[in-house]
């Protein structure tokens, strides 16, 4: 499935979208995490593409590995960022299932 983490918008408790400083965007944090911690070498290339803000093609296994890494409390993602990322992934997975029917 096509994943574009530049579309992930993190929100505060008031529902307002955070304005990130250049270089502090959520997609860059995910790319860095993948680059440093993945077991699948294909995900290293995907991480480098993500870091450049590109749309990447990921398998369900790869997105699950990404979810697992993000969910790990030792990897530094705050709950609001996890929620934004997981909501985005849930939406594109649901859209893909509808399209495949």
- Token pair for 86: 């997981």
Inter-axis angle of helices 41-51 and 60-71, to 10 degrees?
70
pLDDT at 22 over 90: no
pLDDT at 36 over 70: yes
Average pLDDT over residues 11-16: 83
pTM, full prediction? 0.86
CA 32/CA 57 separation, integer angstroms: 17
Task: Decide: residue 77, CB within 10 A, 0-12 exposed, 13-18 middle, 19+ buried.
Answer: buried
- Enumerate the domain spans of the chain: 2-100
Q: Are 43 and 11 in contact (CB under 8 A)?
A: no
């Amino acid at each position: 499935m096509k994943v574009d983490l530049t579309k992930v918008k993190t929100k505060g408790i008031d529902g307002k979208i955070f304005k990130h400083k250049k270089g502090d965007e959520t997609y860059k944090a995910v790319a860095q995490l993948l680059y440093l911690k993945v077991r699948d070498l294909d995900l290293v290339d995907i991480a480098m593409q993500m870091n450049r803000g590109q749309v990447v093609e990921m398998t369900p296994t790869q997105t699950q590995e990404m979810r697992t890494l993000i969910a790990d409390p030792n990897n530094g993602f705050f709950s609001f960022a996890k929620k934004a990322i997981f909501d985005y992934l849930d939406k594109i997975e649901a859209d893909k299932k509808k399209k495949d029917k």
